[in-house]
Structure 1
Amino acid sequence: MTDALKAIQRQIQWNRLIAVVEEQAQTMIRTAFSTTVREAGDLSAGIFDLRGRMLAQAVTGTPGHVNSMMESVNHFLAKFPAETMRPGDHYITNDPWLGTGHLHDLTVVTPAFRNGRIVGLFANTAHVIDVGGLGMGPEGRSVFEEGLYIPIVKCFDQGRPNETFFDFLRAGSRTPVELEGDVYSLCACNDAGAKRLVEMMDEFAMDSLDELAAYIFESSLRATVEEIAKLPRGTYAAEIRSDGYEAPVTLKAAMTIREDRIEVDFAGTSGLSNRGINVPPAYCRAYSCFGIKCVVAPEIPNNWASLSPFHMRIPEGCILNAPRPYPVSVRHVVGQLLPDLMMGCLHQAVPERVNAEGSSALWNPPLRGGAQVSGPAAEVPDFEIITFNSGGTGARPTKDGLDATAFPSGVRTMPVEATENVAPVVFWRKELRPDSAGAGRTRGGCGQVMEIGAKNDAEFAVNAIFDRVAHPPKGRDGGRDGAPGWVGLDDPNGTPLRTKGFQIVPRGRHLVLKLPGGGGMGDPRQRDPALVRRDVADGLVSPEVARTVYGVEV
């Protein structure tokens, strides 16, 4: 076979590998019990070589999961070396420092065998609804309060379930059926990937993945370095503010672009919190790399080699480098601001390729009700549910931001019907929020307004984990900021609630969420008047804002 034909075949095999892991992810979605996986797609799936290096990831999934999961497979191999693994084995953990950052993420690693010989590893991560403890919220003072802590263990041994593990698992959760079902789903999706991998290797008469891995890594690294070399050299600094818990949090970064790599130093970032908004370092690296890659090398597939030129220095004692056992349950509230921070640096180098700031962190309120909230007076059965929602993304240099769309997490908005079907809650309102988009030549994406109650207008609780309320998304190049978020009750006074922490929504009242809009890009007076009139006709911009901000009479 000529070199040219061999290169074509390698590319076909690489594409097939991506199809394999995408089927792996879709199997999880089809079999998952948790709505967070089934409806929102809060998951990741990938294939790794026997050294723990990620070859390919599924298109479906979140960067916080897949990029931190990329590190976690090495921790599995350190405890269970590849040569000790057997067909039918499945290994699991939710350790925030060995997995993807908090206890609500389960990571499963499974060996793939062909003709009795191990040829690769499949890994996946999924966000589950409940692992006991205080629930998903920021109130814990240590990780031990935040839920069931699973070290790296076998959940299946040569196809047989580890019954002791499953006994502990069921006993430690408010949703035992869903949690156990999700573990089976994660194992099933890895098995589906392993089956398809063997079929592919048989078709191409491949004895191992080594040659394909070498091709993937060499091609990805070369392409990424070529893209980095096109950037202007220098060091670029930026900062961003989060509402925090006890006090506002400042994230600082100094990004140095060199000929063949990009280095980021987070010196000056706020210190650790006493509450669960701290970020384990793997999660910091995951979202920082994603933010850089979106701008620098968005077309290059995500794998071990394409991420290797990005280097992070995360000082000890800062909120982005939480040590065990600091609380980390809602690490996404701070961690999902990191792509905007990276873009703040890159805007100084390649402004034409960078968006304005967006709402960033998901607004995914964990809701709880029944006797565990109201005691004997409960009017609804016990429930624990999380619903995923998003504000607007930042304006793009040539296009508006996206309305009510998750960036950087990439998860889907959960249909209200799916949530109402599994919990006694009612969504009274879910609509785009007028005048929430930051004005600009290209405007930000709109946030949304949500109103949620329990059935029978019963009392229930919300574990608030919201941000961008005191510090809304910033515009760029003269664009206006997006509207800040707001959390409160539907009473006549519009009583505000705290943006973080466990709180009761009293009987007869509803929870109201006003999600932030994305920042604008450029001078609003330069916006096409026809687009302003369209936004007014669609109810996204008021006639007053059109007149006073955009200078357009409607």
Structure 2
Amino acid sequence: MTPTPKDATREIRMQVMWNRLISVVEEQALTLLRTAFSTSVREAGDLSAGVFDPQGRMLAQAVTGTPGHVNTMAEAVLHFIAEIGRERMLPGDTYVTNDPWKGTGHLHDITMVSPSFLGDQLVGFFACTAHVVDVGGRGFGADGKSVYEEGIQIPIMKFAESGRVNHDLVQIIRANVREPNQVVGDFYSLAACNDVGHRRLIEMMQEIGLTSLDDLGEFIFTRTRAATLDRIAALPKGAWSNELLTDGYDQPVRLAATVEIADGAVNVDFTGSDPVSRWGINVPIIYTKAYACYALKCVVAPDIPNNWASLDLFTISSPVNILNAERPAPVSVRHVIGHLVPDLVLGALAKALPGKVLAEGSGALWNIHISARPQTGQDGRRAEILMFNSGGMGARPGLDGLSATAFPSGVMTMPIEATEQTGPIVVWRKELRPDSAGDGEYRGGLGQVIEIEAADGHQFEFSAMFDRIGHPPRGRNGGADGKPGSAMLDDGTVMRPKGWQQVPAGRRLVLNLPGGGGYGDPAARSDAARKNDRTRGYITEDGK
């Protein structure tokens, strides 16, 4: 049937409003970026922001944000609605939690949800998430034996009611964290983020003459769902499995996944993965689902908007195991295993879609939490410092891998100048690591070399959250593995890949981040590409 001029006009009008809605959530996210106290948010963009309909279904997300935050937030809003109850929601409210099983998988992420009212009518919700520098307890690390050791737990509750902040909650937070000004500042930044989104949405609705988002939501969901179903219909049908070994905490951990593609749906099942760990590397299913869905979307529908309708077609199943850890399992560094889920899922998809999936990369961010303090008898300052560092991505079919790039999390790097301002440390070196990439027709991305020392008169201990040291990223289709990572002192002392450790005064911590796996037969790499690698210093004369 040929569309009528009226149908075409409505289509254009709805598309314009959809774009306007995306601009609303972009401004929402920028507010958080510009007002956040923590460098992980302000400099690295470790956040998410989105708008939801009154049923809690995500309509649109900001471009800025990690899959682990955005996709968990898409489910978390439903928990907020269930816990608070519609009858207790008031204009000016803001709700908060860091519950790992109802938020984003660990206590360091604060999620806030705010109802948006047009007059007395609830028209939607705004939600946002950010990683804060400290939540008390043992600090950001894998050493806890249960979630109760890992920091303060905030159940879903009101941060503000009718615009009035819950100062009792603020005082409890201040008394339980090491950096109260930063953490409380970030709470207010999150609340402001949602408030800006709400005000821009109401302005948009009043300008256009909307009394609800129902029609716009139906337009967004029907088109997104239809487009995603078309992509799934074009996929081969069947089931494909993959396994991946990770370093774990004190022994390797086996991850397993089976991707099943059927008519109108794709399911990922994690049966066969190792049991729940006694260390804080476990992953709540909400976070596993977030990164499994991200991997599927990267291959199946990368250009289709990420919202409730597209995510709803991807399902996750798993028995209780390290990828479906139940309370009160320790989960503080759930991102290490969680960031390897995309490589696990993509490995299965590569069997279904040969020649279309990139090689394995470093995966997990090489996060390091540094607790710096003055040496005995010295004047100085104490500080908690968080750095995000990235190894190399795997090579892609037809393209070399990206170097020092945070895939799958997508966070940005933290400038050294900003990091050194937060505490008494000196970063002597942060550069690409030659010869770290896996060889292939297409080369993997390079890792980094990073050297850190305490400032004069100070010393520090750090929480290691590293992987791919004992199990490097694997190449694909004949490509070579990337070079594994390492953590050591400048005198050669080998440090553990996970857990809190001391760096003696005067010593430097040296981190060698892993490179990505190569793609395709190395013999097929062009002479021009190899010459370019040597000219740029990516490969030395001693390297291949």
TM-score by length of 1: 0.96
Match of 2:470 in 1: 470
Match of 2:299, SS state, is helix
Once residues 387 and 342 of structure 2 are traced to their aligned partners in structure 1, the CA distance between those partners, rounded to angstroms, is 23
Match of 1:499 in 2: 497
Match of 2:326 in 1: 323
Once residues 112 and 306 of structure 2 are traced to their aligned partners in structure 1, the CA distance between those partners, rounded to angstroms, is 20
Match of 2:102 in 1: 98
Q: CA deviation at 1:377?
A: 4.5
Match of 2:450 in 1: 450
Q: CA deviation at 1:214?
A: 1.1
Amino acid at match of 1:104: H
Match of 1:549 in 2: none
Match of 1:531 in 2: 529
Q: How many residues align?
A: 540
Q: CA deviation at 1:379?
A: 5.6
Match of 1:217 in 2: 221
Structure 2 CA distance for partners of 1:429 and 1:9, relative to 1, 3 Å: same
Answer yes or no: is 1:261 the counterpart of 2:274: no
Q: CA deviation at 1:378?
A: 5.6
Match of 2:418 in 1: 418
Q: CA deviation at 1:464?
A: 0.6
Match of 2:124 in 1: 120
Amino acid at match of 1:64: G
- Residue by residue over 1:19-39, the C-alpha shift from the partner in whole angstroms, topping out at 9 and shown as x without a partner, is 111110010000000011000
Contact 1:472 1:483 (8 Å CA) reproduced? yes
353, 358, 362: which one pairs with 1:359? 362
Q: CA deviation at 1:82?
A: 3.1
Q: Give structure 1 stretches of 5+ with no counterpart.
A: 547-554
- Residue by residue over 1:164-220, the C-alpha shift from the partner in whole angstroms, topping out at 9 and shown as x without a partner, is 000001111100000110000000010100111111111221110111111111111
Match of 2:396 in 1: 396
Once residues 502 and 543 of structure 2 are traced to their aligned partners in structure 1, the CA distance between those partners, rounded to angstroms, is 36
Match of 2:539 in 1: 541
Q: CA deviation at 1:422?
A: 1.4
Match of 1:25 in 2: 29
Match of 1:312 in 2: 316
Contact 1:370 1:379 (8 Å CA) reproduced? no
Once residues 509 and 530 of structure 1 are traced to their aligned partners in structure 2, the CA distance between those partners, rounded to angstroms, is 41
Match of 1:521 in 2: 519
Contact 2:372 2:423 (8 Å CA) reproduced? no
Once residues 119 and 496 of structure 2 are traced to their aligned partners in structure 1, the CA distance between those partners, rounded to angstroms, is 58
Q: Which moved more, 1:73-82 or 1:325-334?
A: 73-82
Match of 1:550 in 2: none
Match of 2:137 in 1: 133
Match of 1:352, SS state, is coil
How big is the alpha-carbon RMSD for the aligned residues of Structure 1 and Structure 2? 1.1
Once residues 544 and 469 of structure 1 are traced to their aligned partners in structure 2, the CA distance between those partners, rounded to angstroms, is 22
Once residues 480 and 457 of structure 2 are traced to their aligned partners in structure 1, the CA distance between those partners, rounded to angstroms, is 39
Once residues 473 and 122 of structure 1 are traced to their aligned partners in structure 2, the CA distance between those partners, rounded to angstroms, is 38
Q: CA deviation at 1:393?
A: 0.4
Q: Which moved more, 1:82-91 or 1:282-291?
A: 82-91
- Residue by residue over 1:359-393, the C-alpha shift from the partner in whole angstroms, topping out at 9 and shown as x without a partner, is 0000110000216xx6x446641111101110000
Contact 1:458 1:506 (8 Å CA) reproduced? no
Once residues 14 and 357 of structure 1 are traced to their aligned partners in structure 2, the CA distance between those partners, rounded to angstroms, is 35
Contact 2:429 2:452 (8 Å CA) reproduced? yes
Once residues 69 and 436 of structure 1 are traced to their aligned partners in structure 2, the CA distance between those partners, rounded to angstroms, is 35
Q: Give structure 2 stretches of 5+ with no counterpart.
A: none
Contact 2:363 2:406 (8 Å CA) reproduced? yes
Contact 2:424 2:458 (8 Å CA) reproduced? no
Once residues 355 and 126 of structure 2 are traced to their aligned partners in structure 1, the CA distance between those partners, rounded to angstroms, is 38
Match of 1:196 in 2: 200
Contact 1:447 1:516 (8 Å CA) reproduced? yes
Amino acid at match of 2:306: N
Match of 2:6 in 1: 2
Match of 1:552 in 2: none
Match of 2:19, SS state, is helix
Once residues 396 and 457 of structure 2 are traced to their aligned partners in structure 1, the CA distance between those partners, rounded to angstroms, is 41
Once residues 70 and 104 of structure 1 are traced to their aligned partners in structure 2, the CA distance between those partners, rounded to angstroms, is 18
Amino acid at match of 1:431: E
Once residues 165 and 457 of structure 2 are traced to their aligned partners in structure 1, the CA distance between those partners, rounded to angstroms, is 42
Once residues 244 and 464 of structure 2 are traced to their aligned partners in structure 1, the CA distance between those partners, rounded to angstroms, is 21
Once residues 378 and 40 of structure 1 are traced to their aligned partners in structure 2, the CA distance between those partners, rounded to angstroms, is 32
Once residues 11 and 88 of structure 2 are traced to their aligned partners in structure 1, the CA distance between those partners, rounded to angstroms, is 34
Once residues 432 and 380 of structure 2 are traced to their aligned partners in structure 1, the CA distance between those partners, rounded to angstroms, is 30
Match of 1:67 in 2: 71
Contact 1:50 1:82 (8 Å CA) reproduced? no
Contact 2:440 2:518 (8 Å CA) reproduced? yes
Once residues 263 and 30 of structure 1 are traced to their aligned partners in structure 2, the CA distance between those partners, rounded to angstroms, is 38
Once residues 317 and 122 of structure 2 are traced to their aligned partners in structure 1, the CA distance between those partners, rounded to angstroms, is 35
Q: CA deviation at 1:281?
A: 0.5
Q: How does 1:128-167 map to 2 (within 5 A)?
A: 128-167=132-171
Answer yes or no: is 1:332 the counterpart of 2:331: no
Amino acid at match of 1:409: S
- Residue by residue over 1:456-484, the C-alpha shift from the partner in whole angstroms, topping out at 9 and shown as x without a partner, is 16321011110000000000000000010
Match of 2:488 in 1: 488
Q: CA deviation at 1:83?
A: 4.1
* Structure 1 runs, 4 residues or longer, greater than 3 Å off: 376-380
Q: CA deviation at 1:545?
A: 2.9
Contact 1:48 1:122 (8 Å CA) reproduced? yes
